[in-house]
Amino acid sequence: AIILIGASGFSYEEAAEICGCAVGTIKSRVSRARTRLQEILKISGEDEFGPDAISAQVTGSNAA
């Protein structure tokens, strides 16, 4: 579900139709997947999004 919504850009309704389940089920699955990804990647807040220090230097971004 998270691939359909996050990476492929489908709406919740479209993803539900593709998966053959209710929209609420897709929303629940995406929410659980996002939570699990945060745990795996050890992301604790919005400040941790964006390029790492090396990537920021290469791209000239001031975000890191």
Break the chain into its structural domains and give their ranges: 2-45
Helix boundaries (H) for 1-64 = 2, 12-19, 23-41, 53-59
Res 14 pLDDT > 50: yes
Confidence of residue 61 (pLDDT cuts 50, 70, 90): low
Environment class of 14 (CB within 10 Å of its CB; exposed 0-12, middle 13-18, buried 19+): middle
pLDDT tens digit sequence for 18-51: 999 999 999 999 999 999 998 888 877 666 666 7
Res 13 pLDDT > 70: yes
